[in-house]
Amino acid sequence: GVPVNSRVSSKIQQLLNTLKRPKRPPLKEFFVDDFEELLEVQQPDPNQPKPEGNQVNVLKGEPLGVVTNWPPSLLAALQRWGTTQPKAPCLTALDTTGKAIYTLTYGR
């Protein structure tokens, strides 16, 4: 007889065991078609709190000037502007009448 290498034999057995394993189910078995549910109008929860206060609107600021040496990112631009213009306004909070109540500068 021919000597049998048990190492090769175990590799073949491992391959056979792998091939015997159940295959993954098709993707369609994982897919849930909930398109019809998405089209249904959801009724709001009556216990859900109602929004209060006035609606907030975004105000447009001054347009940006054209600069030839723009920084590579917003963070770099803020860093540069904060170091060169530390007292420039960064953020302004307004009250309900539109009056500025607090202004945050880059230096703070």
Helix (H, G, I), strand (E, B) or coil at 94: strand
At residue 3, the pLDDT reads 58
Residues 6 or more apart whose CB falls under 8 angstroms from that of 51 comprise none
Question: Among residues of the chain, what percentage have pLDDT more than 90?
Answer: 0
pTM exceeding the 0.75 threshold for the entire prediction: no
At residue 44, the pLDDT reads 80
User: Which amino acid is it at 71?
Assistant: P
pLDDT in tens, 46-99: 888 888 888 888 888 777 666 667 788 888 888 888 888 888 888 899 888 888
The pLDDT of 94-108, averaged and rounded, is 85
Q: How far apart are CA 53 and CA 55, in angstroms?
A: 7
At residue 21, the pLDDT reads 77
At residue 76, the pLDDT reads 87
